[in-house]
Structure 1
């Protein structure tokens, strides 16, 4: 059975102080508003409305936790980079994201969602800059790949991999389409390898640093 299937909603939080105690390895999903993050999560989990797909990009302000059947947690972070969100709200989200990505002890990896037609925007690079120093893996999902021709897909994939090459094996990149449901197995393989790593604690044991 799929690693992500039967994921169950656990809690939503709006500020760092609301984070639940570490309980099992966590995999964060992040991406620019309108990059297709919620659709990707729903597709990966084979669930129509597990993650909320907003008609107004940039309005999902919460960190949502979904428990997988193996005890790990999928963490859906707020979308970032949407220009029409008020500055005060944008700064609040930025603090929430940075705090979670840099301080969460049981976070084992980051799945970074980018629209394959517009990859590696400024805020994407900021997210990588926050997370990369941890040494934990980053997996880039280039979503909406069905909008590109095969030649464009190959060109985009090669360009993103080349730019992120300095990070070495810490970063992996793939094409993904929620519409065509392509790339799901690749995500499962990569994230599954994070959760089976010997460095990952048992599901009910918080990481100690």
Structure 2
């Protein structure tokens, strides 16, 4: 990368706004990368590890506390990280879950500035129902997908690598070169550089791509 090309500093991320529905989101321009995941998969911890900010995305002992679409500005104007609502163990009324589902679907279907989705999965429990829904959505729309297999420190290297290779093979059969998969540990800070490289490729694609 030459000195004249922009450099994204993820540690510059700052909170911009939150939205409970599509019409409350920032203007649909620039470029966004959205993080999605079940509510106990370690999504907030992954965002905090990426940005080197311990409290940027709130980490709660009660999974499912993130009930809004949260936007974070980066150091380059018009570029944003997006923290999508978590699903799974949230103890909330059915009506509220249906509200989240409706507006998450609206965001994913209609947000023109969305450059890619980072899908966060616990490496010990990959491809649950919500994960399959997100993979299917990316398959239909053609939006690039990057899978973070979090909490990789909880497994030994052999089983972790086996899960990685198995999931990479099955997802590539469905999504081809639109998908990538990596292991990640917020605790050990392993995989952060690889994640940044993937986001850079979405935010700042090479001119010949």
Q: What TM-score do you get using the length of structure 2 for normalisation?
A: 0.91
8 Å CA contact retained: 1:3, 1:188: no
Matching of residue 103 in structure 1 with residue 110 in structure 2: yes
With the length of structure 1 as denominator, give the TM-score of the two structures.
0.91
Deviation for aligned residue 1:3:
3.3
Q: What's the CA shift for 1:105?
A: 0.6
Q: CA deviation at 1:198?
A: 5.9
Q: Structure with the greater relative contact order (CA < 8 A, sep ≥ 6): 1 or 2? A: 1
| Conserved? CA contact 2:8–2:74, under 8 Å | no
The residue that corresponds to 2:179 in the other structure is 171
Residue 161 of structure 1 is matched in structure 2 by 168
Q: Aligned to 1:50, which of 47, 56, 66?
A: 56
Gap regions ≥5 residues in structure 2: 1-6
Aligned positions of 1:23-102 closer than 5 A: 23-71=29-77, 72-82=79-89, 84-102=91-109
CA RMSD, 1 decimal: 1.5
Deviation at 1:55, TM superposition (A): 1.4
- Show structure 1 runs of 4+ deviating over 6 A: none
Quick one: distance in 2 between partners of 1:198 and 1:154?
30
Segments of structure 1 that go 5 or more residues without pairing to the other structure are: 200-209
State how far apart, in whole Å, the 2-side matches of 1:118 and 1:173 are: 15
Q: Which residue in 1 is equivalent to 2:136?
A: 129
Q: How many aligned residue pairs are there?
A: 199
Instruction: Describe the SS at the equivalent of 1:73.
Output: strand
Residue 3 (structure 2) aligns with: none
Counterpart CA distance in 2 for 1:87 and 1:189 is 38
Offset of residue 131 of structure 1: 2.6
Q: 2: distance between equivalents of 1:135 and 1:39?
A: 27
2: CA distance, partners of 1:195 / 1:82: 32
- Which residue, out of 140, 161, 180, partners 2:188? 180
Match of 2:127 in 1: 120
